[in-house]
Structure 1
Amino acid sequence: MTSQAEPTRVGAETDTEARLRGLMDRGYSFVHPRDASGEVVAVVGVRAHGSVVDVVRLEAEDDVVAMRIPGGEPDILAPETVLWKESGSMVAVVDKVLALPDDEGPAETSSGKQGCWVPGRPGRAKWLAAS
């Protein structure tokens, strides 16, 4: 018998893997922000759609924050306006994220393009087009 707890299985996947698959199936793209030394500080799932951006930040299986923010927010990791927010365990938070209704309005930035900038490596960002 090992001292580590076995992950709960759903078919051939763990609960965490199943939730991540659910986010990917819903159109989330993932980035891995790093600190100045290059270490990954979190796994961040982002989905720009309608007039909003949904963000899921995973620091650990029991330390997850998700939020829905307006599409025009300049910094999605530290937004000024938050429309919905939840924190807790991976399973609880992602289940609530996947239950959120979609917003159908246009998500346009000041340039008129739909999507948002997502921070990556220090000093770098990636454009994520709205789905």
Structure 2
Amino acid sequence: MNATGRDLPQLLGDARRWFEDALLATLDEAGAVPVSPTQARLFAVLDERGTTVSELARRMGVTRQTAHQAVHGLVADGLLEQVPDPASGRQRLIRRTPEGERAHHRAGLILARLEEELAGRIGREAVGALRAALEAPWGRPPSLDRA
């Protein structure tokens, strides 16, 4: 039995929210353009050369409509832009504007500081072990037989 009675996906979700909440609060205190947690996750999965809304939705695990709404808000704030996809006349790529690149860089610096803060709280060795476990190749998700 685990100590908290909570399963690993719940704990991983809480850990993600810890970083997300601290990132958004730090950006807010710095006077950055306010973004939602969904918009912050979208920024994290965006390719340098641009990504389609459908691919963003798949990477984020949300509907295409949710991804489109997040993109629309970030475009309106001047952080993202839509450009024609050179590989497809029908699709558009979403990419960061210069201001979006600056915001993405700032977020990366904040996340690195948060990782240091976490190491101070739970120990550098624990953070290293957590990182190693999450970076290890897990393989394709299994389809387990009914128990």
Normalised TM-score (structure 2): 0.22
Normalised TM-score (structure 1): 0.23
- From the two aligned structures, give the one with the greater helix fraction: 2
Considering Cα pairs closer than 8 Å and 6+ residues apart, tell me whether 1 or 2 has the greater RCO.
1
* Higher alpha-carbon Rg: 2
